[in-house]
Amino acid sequence: MSVLVVGSIALDDIKTPQDERKDLLGGSASYGAVAASFFSPVKMVGIVGEDFPEAHIELMRSRGIDLEGLQIAKGKTFRWSGEYLGDMNTRETRSIALNVFEAFRPDLPEGYRNTPIVLLANIAPDLQHLVLDQVDSPRFVIADTMDLWINIARERLLELLPRVDLLILNDGEARQLTGEDNLIRAGRALQVLGPRFVAVKKGEHGCLLFGEGTEIFACPAYPLDEILDPTGAGDTFAGGLAGHLATAGPSGIGFPALREAIIRGTVLASFNVEEFSLERLKTLDRSQVEKRLASYRKIAALA
Amino acid sequence: MSVLVVGSIALDDIKTPQDERKDLLGGSASYGAVAASFFSPVKMVGIVGEDFPEAHIELMRSRGIDLEGLQIAKGKTFRWSGEYLGDMNTRETRSIALNVFEAFRPDLPEGYRNTPIVLLANIAPDLQHLVLDQVDSPRFVIADTMDLWINIARERLLELLPRVDLLILNDGEARQLTGEDNLIRAGRALQVLGPRFVAVKKGEHGCLLFGEGTEIFACPAYPLDEILDPTGAGDTFAGGLAGHLATAGPSGIGFPALREAIIRGTVLASFNVEEFSLERLKTLDRSQVEKRLASYRKIAALA
């Protein structure tokens, strides 16, 4: 099965305690689409400006990503600038320039409309709704979000949740959206708002997946002794997850398939943070993914 | 094999966002010894005052704990009062009265000196040294510690590390003691200071165990939707771990045995926080432990 990925495409300036880099490929759809392409065919929807480097488009093409839904608009590409502090668990946005993204209206090519797996990577809930309005009964819809939308578009986000099969968000956002300090209660409270499944990302501490009834899956992160740039870790996680979910066999997409997808997302995200931007994903090959996957299973095995 | 547990025995006053309780049994040795007794015979070393309730001694006796090393001194029992804030990940000490603990000098009965597993539960490094001076080549020494000793007894703590096989501490303490923000680097840096194994506790996020070479084990916490009182979770973890380690067969105490011991410690700690003080451990039976252990393995299975 193939995966439709919609989200932002950006040029990022990033500062970490050790380094500073400019004009990097970024955005939730960039990370999400490239990550998903490790496991399944991907169709991408997004917008860039005329200044968007051809090399970045080449990278996506080289991953076999269908770019028919990529709009190249007059003007400049969306820009984000951020800085990571201390142990890199704290991030501050330095500046945002929406540019062409301001007028973005996702417009799905005819051939995208019956894509079975839909990943609504992190963008405004309004745009996520617009995409869902254009797809024909997808088999599984995944939505990622962020604190910004909880703050400024809470109602539209809440309206999105019943349209979603899996909601992905981080621990702080789960607490913020539900008012529950306890993460297990927060996850369950989110399910009541609509999504059948909820994945709570905890960065260096791994992930919690909430399924039907009392079903729950808890996994640690892949241990890394060096992180160069955490940008896009969550988007890569969501993309890898969506891409692997699209390989689910005839038994369908239930809790066991989601667990396996989360494991793949965790492994891809662990590679992503080893370099700036998508540089590690660019050189990554499938055999390296399989090797780390085996290592991860060994590191976290309880029996 | 049996386990020697030395640490504090206290009467605690505890306030949580929901409740407030006074005169509770507490202290690192109380939690550690009772937790260890679920798996192995325990010999306890500690001090209490004449005000120490007989019921608490009865509890320990009922768990089969050898109390020959328990000193009952003139004066009052060590008292600690603390308050948990918000999501209970923040704790503030309200007051401490050392009382009889101030003059505590662990004095090991003859029959304790060749105990193969030694758990130096959280007390001053000076006292941990004193206990090690009195044991005859123990098979495995575990030491727990806390931020207080890193702040006021850093040198004595550093001198202890080469005498220890497994150091247990929490994530904040690991960062504080090594100056490393990255927990994987912090764990490895701690091993360089002496202990062959290091376990970094991360509360609701589980635990990391560092072994020889690149050996590493990562596990999530057992997910709980309600925590009444986090006091003693770390002590219970250490006690359960030590108790299970004492059941290691002829293949000895290596990384696989430590992984299994950490899993038992995690499960016992998850019970402990469900009630105040040792109330949950008091009613807990072995079949409940085995049931949750099976559930934990299922929740965190990666394959």
Task: Quote the CA–CA distance of A4 and A44 in Å, as a whole number.
Answer: 6
Does position B1 have pLDDT exceeding 80, yes or no?
Answer: yes
Cβ A218–B216 below 8 Å, yes or no? no
Q: Which of B175, B184, B302 sits opposite A301 (nearest CB)?
A: B302
Strand order through the sheet with A207-210: A66-73, A42-49, A3-6, A117-120, A140-144, A166-170, A197-201, A207-210, A216-219
Provide the pairing of β-strand A79-85 with A66-73. unpaired
| pLDDT at A195 (0 to 100) | 98
Does position B90 have pLDDT exceeding 90, yes or no?
Answer: no
Does position A87 have pLDDT exceeding 80, yes or no?
Answer: no
A64 touches chain B (CB under 8 A): no
- Percent of all residues in chain B with a pLDDT value above 70, rounded to a whole number: 100
| pLDDT at B212 (0 to 100) | 94
Contacts of B88 in chain A (CB under 8 A): 181
Does position A268 have pLDDT exceeding 90, yes or no?
Answer: yes
| pLDDT at A142 (0 to 100) | 98
Does position A250 have pLDDT exceeding 90, yes or no?
Answer: no
Q: What's the whole-number average pLDDT of chain A?
A: 96
User: What domain range includes position A104?
Assistant: 3-298
pLDDT confidence band for B48 (50 / 70 / 90): very high
Type of residue numbered A285: D
| pLDDT at B229 (0 to 100) | 96
Q: Which of B204, B224, B302 sits opposite A219 (nearest CB)?
A: B302
| pLDDT at B146 (0 to 100) | 95
| pLDDT at B86 (0 to 100) | 78
pLDDT confidence band for A260 (50 / 70 / 90): very high
A158-174 residue pLDDT tens: 999 999 999 999 999 99
Domain at B221, CATH number: 3.40.1190.20
Residue indicated by tokens 């500073």? A20
Judge residue B162's burial from the number of C-beta atoms within 10 Å of its C-beta, 0-12 exposed, 13-18 middle, 19 or more buried: exposed
Closest chain A CA to residue B189 = A225
pLDDT mean over A121-143: 97
DSSP H helices, chain B, are: 28-36, 54-62, 125-134, 147-152, 154-160, 171-178, 183-192, 233-245, 255-272, 279-283, 286-299
Task: Quote the CA–CA distance of A132 and A137 in Å, as a whole number.
Answer: 9
Does residue A161 belong to any structural domain of this protein? yes
| pLDDT at B303 (0 to 100) | 81
Type of residue numbered B179: G
| pLDDT at A6 (0 to 100) | 98
Q: Which of B205, B226, B297 sits opposite A302 (nearest CB)?
A: B297
- Percent of all residues in chain B with a pLDDT value above 90, rounded to a whole number: 96
Does residue A111 belong to any structural domain of this protein? yes
B263-288 residue pLDDT tens: 999 999 999 999 999 999 999 999 99
| Structural domain total, chain B | 1
A219, A263 Cβ separation under 8 angstroms: yes
B85 touches chain A (CB under 8 A): no
pLDDT mean over B36-49: 98
B26, B12 Cβ separation under 8 angstroms: yes
Does residue A303 belong to any structural domain of this protein? no
| pLDDT at A186 (0 to 100) | 98
**What ipTM was predicted for this assembly?**
0.94
Cβ A185–B225 below 8 Å, yes or no? yes
B112-138 residue pLDDT tens: 999 999 999 999 999 999 999 999 999
B212-240 residue pLDDT tens: 999 999 999 999 999 999 999 999 999 99
pLDDT confidence band for A88 (50 / 70 / 90): confident
A257 touches chain B (CB under 8 A): no
Q: Which of B185, B224, B297 sits opposite A303 (nearest CB)?
A: B297
Q: What's the whole-number average pLDDT of chain B?
A: 96
Contacts of A206 in chain B (CB under 8 A): 205-206, 218, 220
| pLDDT at A89 (0 to 100) | 77
B136-156 residue pLDDT tens: 999 999 999 999 999 999 999
pLDDT mean over B40-62: 98
| pLDDT at A284 (0 to 100) | 98
A226 touches chain B (CB under 8 A): yes
Name the residue among B268, B200, B263 with its Cα closest to residue B232.
B268
User: What Å distances lie between residue B59 and A239, B65, B119, CA to CA?
Assistant: 53, 9, 20
CB pairs A-B closer than 8 Å: 91
| pLDDT at B88 (0 to 100) | 82
Task: Quote the CA–CA distance of A60 and A67 in Å, as a whole number.
Answer: 8
A210 touches chain B (CB under 8 A): no
